[in-house]
Amino acid sequence: MDEFSIDKIVDTRGSHCPGPIMSLIEAVKLANIGTVIEFYFEENQSMQDASFWVKRVGHQILVEEAIGDYFHFVVRKIK
């Protein structure tokens, strides 16, 4: 795995609206290229949706894992 340092953290736990995926898209869209963003999700479905969107748009997933009762996801904006 690449070496990386986190530039921004978005904790979506407890967020029902605009919700985890909207928060993820917003954070990625507003970030500069190269920015590494760490997300925390409450549900596995959110991580699956995030993974799908990030791959479809063409950014890089650095971490995708379950930790206890939440999910940890790290993405690098590459374009």
Partner 1 sequence: MTTKIVIVGGGSAGTITANLLARNLYKNITSGKVVINLITDNPDHIYQPGYLYVVFDKVRPQEITRKQKDLLDPHINLYVDPAVNIDRDNRIVTTKSGKEFDYDYLVVATGSRIVPEEVPGLQEGSYWFYDMQSAMKLREALMNFNGGRILISMGIPHKCPVAPLELTFMLHDYFKQKNMLDKVQLHYTYPINSVHVIESVSNWAVREFERKGIKYDTFFNMEEIDPVKNIISSMEGDKFGYDMLITIPPHKGAQVIEDSGMGKNGWVSTHKKTLINDNYENIYIVGDTTDIPISKAGSTAHFQADVVAERLTSIIAEGNTAIEYDGKVVCFLETGFDEATYIWFNYNTPPNPSPPSRMLHWMKLGYNRLYWLTARGIL
Active-site positions read 17
Q: Site residues (CB under 8 A) for partner 1?
A: 10-12, 14-19, 21-23, 25-26, 29-30, 49, 52-53, 56-57
DSSP code, position 13: T
Identify which of residues 53 and 70 has a Cβ nearer to partner 1 in the complex.
53
DSSP H or E segment with residue 50: helix 44-57
We find the least distance from the C-beta atom of residue 72 to partner 1, in angstroms, to be: 16
Q: Of 21 and 36, which CB lies nearer to partner 1 in the complex structure? A: 21
Contacts of 31 (CB under 8 A, 6+ apart): 7, 8, 37, 77
Please report how close the Cβ of residue 46 comes to partner 1 at its closest, in angstroms.
10
